[in-house]
Amino acid sequence: MSDRFPAEIHIGGPIPRQLRDQLIQAIVAQGVHLQDYGGPEATEEGLEPLIQEGEFLCLYDDQARYGEFDELEAFLVEHEIHFNRHSDGYCEHNAQWLFFRGSDAPLAMPAEQGAGILLYRENVAEILDDEEIDDQVKISQLRRLVYPPQLSELQPIRFT
């Protein structure tokens, strides 16, 4: 039996206009809620006014399997639709952010329950303790650790 715990996903960025109906179907099939945890369940009629250019689409599930929207996330990645997903921690599963900006693979980052992004001391120490690289390279590597490209700001929906 799988663990189920709260997760939310925010969708934005460029979306091909011809994928709008498929996106709505993928969201409805995932069985998420609109507006907030415990809000109304996503239906085609309920989603129509929410998927608008210049807005973000925010979806919630207080019983997401492993804190993920597996089928919806797969659809978004396949069609290069941008999103941020935050899942709470539960038992042995840590809270997590997942960022996707349409290229590369989604980036998973550890998070606090309150949604802040965490850095592991070991990752920072590995860079700082590397005696084979100079300080400028260390700064560059630390900057990439703190501000990876996938962490660029999620933009509102724009139909292309």
Residue 69: pLDDT band by 50, 70, 90 thresholds?
very high
Please indicate, yes or no, if residue 78 is contained in any of the structural domains. Answer: yes
Q: What is the pLDDT of residues 109-151, one digit of tens each?
A: 777 666 666 667 787 888 889 989 889 888 888 877 777 766 7
| Mean pLDDT value across residues 88-103 | 79
What is the extent of the structural domain holding 89? 4-117+149-159
| Mean pLDDT value across residues 9-15 | 96
Closest listed residue to residue 1, CA positions, set 98, 86, 76, 66: 66
DSSP, res 133: S
Please indicate, yes or no, if residue 112 is contained in any of the structural domains. Answer: yes
Give the 3-state secondary structure of residue 111.
strand
**Counted domains in the chain:** 1
Please indicate, yes or no, if residue 64 is contained in any of the structural domains. Answer: yes
Please indicate, yes or no, if residue 142 is contained in any of the structural domains. Answer: no
